Amino acid sequence: MIERRRVSDQIVDEIKKKIKSGEYATNTKLPSENELAKLFNVSRVPIREALSALAAHGIVEAKHGEGSWIRPFPIENIINKHLIETITFDRILNLLETRIILETQAAAFAAERHKDVDLSKMYDAQKRLFIELDDPEKVSDEADFIFHQAIFQSTYNEVLIEVLNNLSDVYYQAMKTSLTINTKIQGKKKQVYEEHQAILKAISMKDSKQAAEMMKIHLENSQAKLLIYKHLFK
């Protein structure tokens, strides 16, 4: 039986444990909503919420008329082995914390200081990302890197730009790892594109507060996604 905290969150945790243990194997169908409700002694409402959360993070896939199926990974199968060997989840998460600190303020400065040429680079990166949205073979790491690089450059702060240059290797590896996960989760690449659009709109309107807020949301969403995967496969 599930104790009361937030019921759907606890059900998510329990299902992830069963996936990790092998009780619920990949490429197999989860028990039905009714069966899960009986298993956890709850109504179908928190079961649906839990399944929606699992689907949103690409852990399960809802198939029309067939229920929910456990997606065929673990993480080592969807991310290039070389990336896993050269950068760990902890390193990626540490970098994301650093990016949240630096890039929220960089976005604010970009809103205040950008030139037309800087906006053009951001728009070009977005056009490329849009073209690649529906291509599962495209990770779109180059377009993403160019977008964020253009924001740093439009701060016209030499130290900030130098920090990015010094971190560029690990920054790019971490970004590619995160975006590779996106290619396996339905709707995630589109979400990144839409978050970029919100950042770009705020910068183009010279709204520094909004630019910083949209950047913070964008990076925290990446952080949350990676934490899901780390906790599932640690």
Mean pLDDT, each 10-residue run in order, the chain (234 residues)? 67 84 82 92 90 80 84 49 53 86 96 97 94 78 91 95 82 76 72 95 98 96 76 53
CATH code: domain of residue 43: 1.10.10.10
89 and 173 share one domain = yes
Q: Which two tokens stand for residue 97?
A: 């914390």
Amino acid 150: pLDDT = 95
84 and 110 share one domain = yes
Amino acid 76: pLDDT = 41
CATH code: domain of residue 118: 1.20.120.530
* CB-CB neighbours of 37 under 10 Å: 18
Amino acid 232: pLDDT = 54
Domain membership of residue 2 (yes or no) is: no
User: Are the CB atoms for 147 and 122 separated by under 8 Å?
Assistant: yes
Amino acid 231: pLDDT = 59
Amino acid 173: pLDDT = 75
Domain membership of residue 68 (yes or no) is: yes
47 and 85 share one domain = no
Amino acid 66: pLDDT = 82
Domain membership of residue 65 (yes or no) is: yes
Residue ending a domain, among 23, 57, 72, is 72
Closest C-alpha among 219, 209, 113, 210 to residue 158: 113
How many whole angstroms separate alpha carbon 184 and alpha carbon 72? Answer: 10
For 13-37, what is each residue's pLDDT tens digit?
Answer: 888 888 877 788 877 889 999 999 9
141 and 108 share one domain = yes
How many whole angstroms separate alpha carbon 36 and alpha carbon 25? Answer: 16
Amino acid 125: pLDDT = 94
Amino acid 62: pLDDT = 83
201 and 226 share one domain = yes
Q: For residue 88, what are the domain limits?
A: 77-233
How many whole angstroms separate alpha carbon 70 and alpha carbon 107? Answer: 38
Angle of CA points 176, 179, 185, to nearest 5°: 150
Residue ending a domain, among 40, 55, 72, is 72
Q: What is the DSSP string of the chain?
A: -PPSSSHHHHHHHHHHHHHHHTSS-TTSBPPPHHHHHHHHTS-HHHHHHHHHHHHHTTSEEEETTTEEEE-S--HHHHS-HHHHHH--HHHHHHHHHHHHHHHHHHHHHHHHH--HHHHHHHHHHHHHHHHTTT-TT---HHHHHHHHHHHHHTTT-HHHHHHHHHHHHHHHHHHHHHHHHHHTSTTHHHHHHHHHHHHHHHHHTT-HHHHHHHHHHHHHHHHHHHHHHHHHH-
Domain membership of residue 28 (yes or no) is: yes
What is the total count of domains within the chain? 2
Amino acid 223: pLDDT = 84
Q: Which two tokens stand for residue 29?
A: 């169908």
Residue ending a domain, among 72, 93, 127, is 72
Amino acid 21: pLDDT = 73
114 and 90 share one domain = yes
